Amino acid sequence: MAREFDAVSKIALGLPRVEAGTAYGSPAFKVDGKMFACLAVNRSAEPNTLVVRMTFEERDDLIAEEPKTYYLTDHYVDYPCVLVRLARVRHDALRDLLLMGWRFASAAKSRTVAKRKRH
């Protein structure tokens, strides 16, 4: 598991404005303070699983395309994220996933700022 998470860390920390931190006591990556990826801690997730935030549509597409790599449990269904089996994900796909998560979290911050400016 350490090798797979090292790859996650290297890619995530190479993205702009990203810092390593924790979420729910688990290693996590945040952009502008918003978490976009972390190791899954809920007991419903399989060991060595990464949680990556993204739209529900993106998540559904990934699971439909590669259900052996991407999955969900009941706990995560209502959250805009996908569960990723780190032992199965390709390195190039991991880079794309983390970028999707980074964009999702960055957009969430932009939406919050836009709402504040309107009021």
Q: Using one digit for the tens of pLDDT, what is the confidence trace for 46-74?
A: 999 999 999 999 999 999 999 999 999 99
- Residue spans of the domains in the chain: they are 2-118
Rg of the chain over CA atoms, in angstroms? 14
**pLDDT-derived band of residue 4, with 50, 70 and 90 as boundaries?**
confident
Whether 111 has a pLDDT exceeding 90, the answer reads no
Please list the helix, strand and coil fractions of the chain in percent, rounded to the nearest 5, in that order.
45, 25, 30
Tokens coding 51: 């949680």
The one-character DSSP state at 46 is P
* Beta partners for residue 22, in sequence order: 27
Q: State whether CATH 3.90.1150.30 applies to domain 2-118.
A: yes
Is the model's pTM score more than 0.75? yes
Q: Are 99 and 36 in contact (CB under 8 A)?
A: no
